[in-house]
């Protein structure tokens, strides 16, 4: 194992701890940004070590689950601290994550693979059900609240929120069972040649798992640490406040994004698809139930419904995604279309 992959997560965690007691200065923010990037690269390395040990698709599940749990904790802490002012936070985070992964990450992976290999393949038997679950949960959580009448505005009533939370958690649980037990072969490369190096020892895998968690905590914590600088930059350029959530989501998703792109570059698009769709499903399946529970326990309002513009972009993303994932083979054009949708998402978030 490379020595820097051991040192960087520990240094990032130490810097995160020191930043809690030091005044917020520009040099400290620059150091935090550099440590964040280093922690992302280290997290990807350790996730790949764990993935080699446990095999696919459990390897991609480890990274997706770890990032989602930490991101969920960040959302809850901000909700409790911010009170009613943070009512749209869960919606903005889930929507941004789904759009970043479904159009940006998948599109980039397809373009990278298309440039290097012309065409790549994956198993539609696994991607199809996963994408269907993602479309269903995103519609249930982000679209339907706008059209229900039991609560005012774009919000669910308490009983409707409970239903959405239970449905999200149940659907994600069934997907994990399908992915890891009942139809594990649906998420393995069609050629069965995804293993390139011998599996690491048990001790090395456990060490990487521990360092992966340290790196991911550091990524999320440092992203939160530099978020005031991001907010100030957003205000300085006159961009909408929603751009802050997108910027933070992009930072938090960096480990998964880098891992997915590296897999596509190594002609392992199946791993990229597993990681992308698994991360998007985990974001909804885990975040929504926890948000519902916190909302009911602390009496905090939660706004889940999207504005019409966001609903159109979400629908476009799902239509394009269904076409892209419907054949089991990808090329450069499909990835380019995905990235156009992603660019529209970013641009219209800055220029609404």
**Residue 217: which of 3, 8, 16, 4 has the closest Cα?**
16
74-132 pLDDT, tens digit each? 777 777 777 787 788 888 888 998 999 999 999 999 999 999 999 999 989 989 999 99
Give the number of C-alpha atoms closer than 13 A to the C-alpha of residue 32, restricted to the C-beta side: 27
**What confidence score (pLDDT) does residue 220 get?**
75
257-314 pLDDT, tens digit each? 888 999 899 998 998 998 899 888 988 888 899 889 988 988 888 899 999 999 999 9
**Where exactly are the structural domains of the chain?**
3-350
β-strand partners of 330: 120
Indicate the pTM of the whole model: 0.81
232-270 pLDDT, tens digit each? 777 777 777 677 768 777 877 887 888 899 989 999 899
Length of the chain: 352
Grade residue 197 by pLDDT with cuts at 50, 70 and 90: low
17-57 pLDDT, tens digit each? 888 788 878 788 888 888 888 887 787 778 778 877 776 66
Distance CA 238, CA 245 (A): 15
């Amino acid at each position: 194992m490379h020595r820097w992959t051991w040192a960087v997560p520990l240094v990032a965690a130490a810097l995160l701890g020191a930043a809690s007691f030091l005044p917020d200065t520009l040099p400290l923010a620059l150091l935090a940004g550099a440590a964040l990037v280093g922690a992302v690269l280290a997290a990807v390395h350790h996730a790949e070590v764990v993935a080699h040990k446990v095999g696919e698709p459990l390897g991609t599940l480890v990274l997706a689950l770890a990032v989602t749990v930490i991101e969920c904790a960040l959302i809850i802490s901000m909700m409790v601290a911010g009170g009613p002012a943070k009512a749209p936070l869960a919606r903005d985070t889930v929507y941004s994550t789904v759009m970043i992964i479904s159009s940006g990450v998948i599109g980039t992976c397809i373009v990278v693979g298309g440039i290097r290999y012309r065409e790549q393949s994956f198993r539609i038997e696994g991607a199809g059900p996963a994408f269907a679950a993602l479309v269903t949960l995103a519609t249930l959580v982000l679209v339907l609240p706008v059209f229900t009448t039991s609560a005012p505005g774009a919000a669910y009533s308490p009983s409707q929120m409970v239903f959405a939370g239970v449905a999200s958690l149940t659907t994600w649980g069934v997907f994990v069972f399908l992915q890891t037990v009942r139809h594990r072969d649906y998420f393995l490369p069609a050629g069965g040649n995804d293993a390139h190096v011998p599996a690491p020892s048990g001790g090395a895998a456990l060490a990487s798992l521990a360092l992966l968690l340290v790196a991911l905590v550091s990524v999320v914590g440092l992203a939160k640490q530099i978020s005031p600088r991001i907010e100030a930059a957003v205000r300085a350029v006159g961009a909408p406040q929603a751009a802050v959530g997108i910027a933070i989501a992009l930072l938090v998703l960096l480990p998964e994004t880098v891992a997915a792109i590296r897999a596509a570059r190594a002609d392992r698009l199946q791993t990229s698809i597993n990681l992308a769709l698994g991360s998007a499903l985990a974001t909804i399946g885990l975040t929504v139930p926890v948000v519902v529970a916190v909302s009911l326990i602390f009496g905090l309002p939660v706004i889940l419904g999207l504005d019409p513009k966001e609903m159109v972009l979400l629908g476009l993303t799902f239509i394009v995604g269904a076409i892209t994932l419907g054949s089991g083979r990808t090329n450069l054009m499909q990835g380019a279309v995905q990235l156009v949708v992603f660019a529209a998402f970013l641009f219209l978030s800055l220029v609404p």
